[in-house]
Amino acid sequence: MDEILAANALYYAAFSSGDFAKMSALWAPEDISCVHPGWPVLIGRPAVLDSYRNILRNPAQEPIVARDEIALISGNEGRVCCVELAGDMPLATTNWFRRIDGVWRMIHHQASPIAAMVQQATEERPPSPKRLN
């Protein structure tokens, strides 16, 4: 679990530092995809990496922090589910990795806004009833 969480941390470190070379090195050489918030599905290394090149060049890009990371591993593939914080917008995120030559490489990233009404409903939920037994 530690290795896939470390690979996930490398993704956010590359993002935060704007380091395209590190971002590119993290992705698998083929069969990759990505869904940025509000974007169509991007398929293939050229499309995915072009999107990151443009995002990382943007001087207004806010830093992204991952929290609540949960790793799930099945054989040579694993996912890290987490919440990304980018400014005021929390994003439900899945980063999917494949172990290639002993190294976890990203094969899919998807981030979607968490609906404000879901957050509000959670905050306004009445307390659970007390059990008498």
Specify if 13 maps to a domain: yes
- Residue 130 inside a domain? The answer is no
Q: Half-sphere exposure of 73 toward its Cβ, with a 13 Å CA cutoff?
A: 11
Residue-level pLDDT at 123 = 60
In this predicted structure, what is the pLDDT of residue 115?
Answer: 83
Instruction: State residue 132's pLDDT score.
Output: 45
Q: Are 78 and 97 in contact (CB under 8 A)?
A: yes
129, part of any domain: no
Give the pLDDT of residue 112.
95
Residue type present at position 95? N
pLDDT of residue 89: 86
The string of DSSP letters for 57-77 reads: H-TTPPPEEEEEEEEEEETTE
What pLDDT is stored for residue 7 in this prediction? 98
Range of the domain at 64: 2-123
Q: Tell me, yes or no, whether 128 lies in a domain.
A: no
Is 10 part of a structural domain of the chain? yes
In a domain, 90, yes or no: yes
Domain CATH for 92: 3.10.450.50
pLDDT score of 119 = 53
Helix (H) / strand (E) containing 118: helix 116-123
Domain total for the chain?
1
Q: Answer yes or no: is 132 within a domain.
A: no
pTM score of the predicted model: 0.84
Asked whether residue 95 is domain-assigned, the answer is yes
Q: What is the mean pLDDT of each run of 10 residues along the chain (133 residues)?
A: 97 95 98 97 99 94 92 98 91 98 98 72 52 43
